[in-house]
Amino acid sequence: MSTAAIVPLISQVSTAVSEAIRRVRPDLAEADPVVRPSEHADFQANAALALAKRVGSNPRELAAAFADALGDVRSGSIESVDVSGPGFLNIAVADRAVWQQVSARLADSRHGVGTPESGRRTVIDYSAPNIAKEMHVGHLRTTIIGDCLARVLGFLGADVVRQNHLGDWGTQFGMLIQYLDEHPDAAWHQDELTGTSSVSALAVLYKEAKRLFDADPAFADRSRARVVALQSGDPATIARWREIVAESEKAFRAIYDRLGVLLAPEDSVGESYYQPKLAETIAELEAAGIAVESDGALVVFSADVLGPEGDPVPLMVRKRDGGYGYDSTDLATIRYRIKELGGERLIYVTDARQALHFRMIFDAARRAGWLAGDVEAIHVAYGMVLGLDGRPFRSREGDTVRLVDLLDAAVERARDVVAGKDPDLDPAELDQIAEQAGIGAVKYADLSTSRGKDYVFDVDRMVSFAGNTGVYLQYAHTRMAAILRKAGSSSPAADVDGAISLRPEERALALRLDTYGTVVTDVGALLEPHRLCGYLYDLARDFTSFYETCHVLSADEPIRTNRLALCRLAARTMQHGLGLLGIAAPDRM
């Protein structure tokens, strides 16, 4: 089982061009060869244009000199080099070299993708729903993007530690626990509910508790006493709190399973976990002189962040009343992730509104000496989910939309479409395909747009199943799978015949497949899943063009075997890529 990356042709060409540059002008040996995929050839090298000025020569002449030198460089990959336009080098690679890449990638269990993140301990914070509350549309992006990054980085060799920072602590639990104790007949355990979830039931009970709290001073007093009991570790109160947490997690589990999210129970490390660590965290900041007293509270001032009055903005380490807020918890959290989890790269997947907050947390962690050396902390910010009216996505009644309802809507629409395409489908298969297509559509829509921007949530468009949607990719995969299925075992997985010349559509597909690892590596470095979506969409289009013009099963040998190899690699790559996005790749739809 090889783990060495297969060098893509574009890299091979870059190396060759660099060598040619070195031969022509040793003083420019370090220059970027600027090799790119090209519309005019397989690749183009733009280095001459950039370098001509530096060495005081004509770009075309310099390009010609590079081209000559490139002819001398021994590289089996390059077929031809032409100088074009103001000084571009148009480079074509040999058919044999292209087939060689296909063959090598097919022989590798990782499709030739390397492990650039090898061994790097990477802590990814995502999802983070609140206990006793429903997951809503606001949890969609963090959960999907975070999970995709966990998959991508894990595949690239990173030692990924997932952290589900549950909202499992706070004074609101006092009120809820008190109410539950006084209403033992209330149903809220998952196994005594049908058609609803524990968090749904708890959210309703919480509203009632809140109403009672406001209306009944005696209940309010008992609730406050319950908060004290919870914070001081009263066993009965803690037991009830744990029960609420456990029941809520069952509901989250159901959603995660449905979404195909990796988060497991052991990844749940919520706010409560850091409560015992707050005192020492704060003591450390205070001893270092980073946390200072202000208006009776303990704060960390940020040097470069000013408020409306021009005053420095603080992190609230300890409130005037002695209590702790999220600033304290987040400081304890980053300290824990670096010092105890040994995180070398900390990733926080939360919405863009928290950008300033994390800037201040990171700054404080840096000053405290926790965030030092090669350790990096990154806020992976994403935009809001908007409705068709361009305002934050809400139901017609103006409420936040439950995640379950959103997924149900997508799957239901998917079922209508699927049933319309194939009325004879058996019900169980219909359900399965609708689920895979509907969920896939939601995830793809979320992941395929660049994450920094707000995006408009439009179920109709997602589930229209036409054009650039998750279903297009799944459909392309089913076509690949269908060919492989029909080819059956009659076609041995023989080595491809490198002597066969490539048709344009075969070439485009093969070259696309050759860059898979580059794209996945970019996603891991830049933490931008939409690049992988874009790649897979291009791959699906390239395959479709190939599918339309190069019939596989009816082709004569050895062309048939070569085309099957392309199908096989395309199918594996598509399936794997969809897997990294957390989207199912069914064989039939």
Partner RNA sequence: GCCUCCAUAGCUCAGUGGAUAGAGCAGCUGCCUUCUAAGCAGUAGGUCGCAGGUUCGAAUCCUGCUGGAGGCGCCA
The interface with RNA within residues 506-535 (CB under 7 A) comprises 530-531, 534
Would you say 105 or 379 has its CB closer to RNA? Answer: 379
167 binding RNA? (CB under 7 A):
yes
Residues 6+ apart with CB under 8 A from 442: 140, 406, 407, 410, 462, 470
Both ends of the chain: CA-CA distance in Å? Answer: 32
384 binding RNA? (CB under 7 A):
yes
Residue with tokens 């896939």: 440
Whether residue 460 contacts residue 412, with contact meaning beta carbons closer than 8 Å, is answered with no
426 binding RNA? (CB under 7 A):
no
Would you say 534 or 579 has its CB closer to RNA? Answer: 534
Binding residues for RNA restricted to 545-564, rule: CB under 7 A: 545, 547-548, 550-554
57 binding RNA? (CB under 7 A):
no
Across 352-464, the runs of DSSP E, i.e. the strands, are 376-382, 385-386, 455-456
Binding residues for RNA restricted to 203-222, rule: CB under 7 A: none
Whether residue 560 contacts residue 553, with contact meaning beta carbons closer than 8 Å, is answered with yes
Which of 93, 94, 6 lies closest to 44 in space, CA to CA? 93
Binding residues for RNA restricted to 325-354, rule: CB under 7 A: 325-326, 329, 352-354
199 binding RNA? (CB under 7 A):
no
Would you say 250 or 461 has its CB closer to RNA? Answer: 461
Whether residue 389 contacts residue 358, with contact meaning beta carbons closer than 8 Å, is answered with no
Query: What's the CA gap between 32 and 383, in Å, rounded?
Result: 34
Among 66-74, 98-106, 224-232, 443-451, which window interacts with RNA (CB under 7 A)?
443-451
Shortest spacing between CB 94 and RNA, in angstroms: 19
Whether residue 92 contacts residue 65, with contact meaning beta carbons closer than 8 Å, is answered with no
Would you say 66 or 157 has its CB closer to RNA? Answer: 66
147 binding RNA? (CB under 7 A):
no
Binding residues for RNA restricted to 24-43, rule: CB under 7 A: 34, 36-41
Stretch 73-92: interaction string toward RNA, x if CB under 7 A: -----------xxx-x-x--
Binding residue (CB under 7 A) for RNA from 12, 14, 46, 561: 46
Contacts 24+ apart (CB under 8 A), 491-497: 491/560, 491/561, 491/564, 492/561, 493/106, 493/565, 493/568, 494/561, 495/103, 496/99, 496/102, 496/103, 496/106, 496/561, 496/562, 496/565, 497/99, 497/558, 497/561, 497/562
Shortest spacing between CB 328 and RNA, in angstroms: 8
Among 239-247, 331-339, 459-467, 574-582, which window interacts with RNA (CB under 7 A)?
459-467
482 binding RNA? (CB under 7 A):
yes
Binding residues for RNA restricted to 101-140, rule: CB under 7 A: 128
Shortest spacing between CB 495 and RNA, in angstroms: 20
Angle at 271 between CA 270 and CA 274, to 5 degrees: 105
Among 246-254, 274-282, 393-401, 463-471, which window interacts with RNA (CB under 7 A)?
463-471
Among 21-29, 258-266, 285-293, 477-485, which window interacts with RNA (CB under 7 A)?
477-485
461 binding RNA? (CB under 7 A):
yes
Within 10 Å of residue 389's Cβ, how many Cβ atoms? 9
448 binding RNA? (CB under 7 A):
yes
253 binding RNA? (CB under 7 A):
no
Would you say 129 or 582 has its CB closer to RNA? Answer: 129
Amino acid at 162: R
Which of 464, 305, 449, 474 lies closest to 384 in space, CA to CA? 449
94 binding RNA? (CB under 7 A):
no
For CA atoms 415, 418, 423, 427, give the dihedral sign. negative
Within 10 Å of residue 3's Cβ, how many Cβ atoms? 12
Binding residue (CB under 7 A) for RNA from 187, 421, 499, 504: 421
Helix (H) or strand (E) holding 354: none
Binding residue (CB under 7 A) for RNA from 452, 494, 501, 504: 452
Binding residues for RNA restricted to 272-331, rule: CB under 7 A: 294-297, 299, 305-311, 313-314, 316, 319-321, 323, 325-326, 329
The DSSP-derived string for 338-386 is: HHTS--SEEEEEEEGGGHHHHHHHHHHHHHTTSS-TT-EEEEEEE--EE
Would you say 235 or 427 has its CB closer to RNA? Answer: 427
Shortest spacing between CB 362 and RNA, in angstroms: 14
